[in-house]
Amino acid sequence: MPLYAAYGSNLDPRRMVRRAPHSPIRGTGWLVGWRLTFGGENLSWEGAFATVVEAPEDPDAHVFVLLYDVPAEDEPGLDEWEDGGTGLFRKVRVRVHTLDGDVTAWLYVLDAYEGGLPSARYIGMLADAAEAAGAPGDYVDELRARPCLSTGPGVPDA
C-alpha cells in the first residue's frame, strides 16, 4: 500500500480521519535534507502555504512527518482536499527516515515560488497538528516561533 508522508495540517490524526477515513497511521519519520517553508502567499487569502523543499546547503535540515497507509479509495479524496483542482500542489516521492529504516512515501509540494508569511492561525494549526502527531517538543516550539502575519485579509485581529 502506498505511504503518504504528512508534514502540515494532516499531521493531526483527527483531521486525517475525516479526509482519508481508510488510511491508518503507519508511524513517524523525518525528511532528512529537507526543510519546511512557505510559499504562494499571493495565491491565498490567508498568507502563504506550507511546503517542503530540499535543502542540500543545510545538512542539519529535517522535517517531521506522520506516515499513513493510503489505499486507492482514499487517494482521490486526499488529492482533492490538498489541491482542490487548483494545480498548486504536486505529488513527489521522498525517502523518509524511520526507526525501522528508510521507506519511500509520497507527499504534496507547492508548485509556486517560495516566500511569504503564513497567518498566525495557520502556524498555530500546524504546530497543534505536529503536537497531536507526537512531534518532539523542540520541533513544535520551533513551529510556533516562526514569523507570521498577525492580521491580514480574512484574518481577524487577535
| Distances 127 to 58, 94, 122 between C-alpha atoms, Å | 22, 22, 9
CATH of the structural domain 3-144, one choice from 3.40.50.2300, 3.40.50.300, 3.10.490.10, 3.30.70.20: 3.10.490.10
**Does 113 carry a binding-site annotation?**
no
Among 142, 96, 101, 137, smallest CA distance to 123 is for: 142
pTM above 0.75, yes or no: yes
Burial class (CB in 10 A: 0-12, 13-18, 19+), 25: middle
pLDDT at site 157: 38
pLDDT tens for 58-99 read 989 999 999 999 999 999 999 888 877 778 899 999 999 999
6 has binding-site annotation? yes
Which pLDDT score, from 0 to 100, does residue 40 have? Answer: 84
Ligand-binding annotation for 5, yes or no, is: yes
Cross-strand bridge partners of residue 109:
90
DSSP code string of 43-78: G-TTBPEEEEEE-TT-TT-EEEEEEEE--TTTHHHH
Catalytic residue (choose from 82, 114, 131, 142): 82
What pLDDT shows up at residue 136?
98
Lookup result for grid cell 507570521: 148
Instruction: Give the residue ranges of the chain where pLDDT is below 70.
Output: 151-158
Query: Do the annotations mark residue 119 as ligand-binding?
Result: no
9 annotated binding-site participant: yes
82 is catalytic: yes
Residue 154 labelled as part of a binding site: no
The pLDDT of residue 156 is 44
Which pLDDT belongs to residue 158? Answer: 37
Predicted pLDDT of residue 151: 57
Give strand pairing partners of 110: 89
